[in-house]
Amino acid sequence: MKPLLRSLLCLGLLGASALAQAFDLNDLRKQLSEPEVIKGEFVQEKHLRALPQPLLSKGHFVLARDHGLLWLLQTPLQQDYRLNAKGIARRDASGWQMVPTRTAGTEQNKLFFAVLQGDSGGLERDFELSLQGDAQHWQLRLVPKSLLIKQIFNQIDIDGGRYVERIQLQETQGDSTVLRMPSSTSASLTDAERHDLVD
């Protein structure tokens, strides 16, 4: 998995007497962090300048608000990843093994994690955030401000409604990644998923 990723309210008076609700970063954060568990499928397209066709990978994910993220790649190869407060781990024959941090791939994965769980505070440390739309249809643009992230990404665009639906990452060297999650839903953890997340 070389992908991964943070998100966000204010009430105001509009007009003389009408009370309207504006959708801001706090609203988006609350909306995305509300479900305890979200599951869904993902399709990732990696567009490389050197290749005429994008590299396509598919799988599914399990995001547990209090435990972390399982990112389960199914094609073109099978590989399981886990992201939590300890870092990023990859499953091999002997169990979960921590992977090196501070690479472009791990930064991308942490970014996906932050976005999916609505961690706007984490995102704001590294990005300038601009949000448009409402709770049903919103667009969030992230422009890097940290030196490390500026070396990796030019900008990141995230679209969603109830959940995150699409993430597009524009990389500094001209490559890009598009991640689509069209079928996310609130759910419960299975015993196996709980074991993987808290192991």
Domain span at residue 86 reads 10-198
Q: How much is the pLDDT for 123? A: 83
Asked if the structure places residue 5 within a domain, the reply is no
Asked if the structure places residue 3 within a domain, the reply is no
CATH code at 42? 2.50.20.10
| Extended beta strands in 48-191, E state | 55-64, 68-75, 79-84, 87-92, 95-98, 127-133, 138-144, 153-160, 164-171, 176-180, 185-186
Return all residues near 23 (Cβ < 8 A) that are at least 6 apart. Answer: 9, 131, 133, 134, 135, 138
User: pLDDT tens string for the chain (199 positions)?
Assistant: 443 333 222 222 222 222 335 899 889 988 988 899 999 999 999 999 989 999 999 999 999 988 889 999 999 999 999 988 788 899 999 999 988 766 556 566 667 677 776 676 778 888 899 999 999 999 999 999 988 888 888 999 999 999 999 999 999 989 999 999 988 999 999 999 999 998 7
- Number of structural domains found in the chain: 1
pTM here is: 0.79
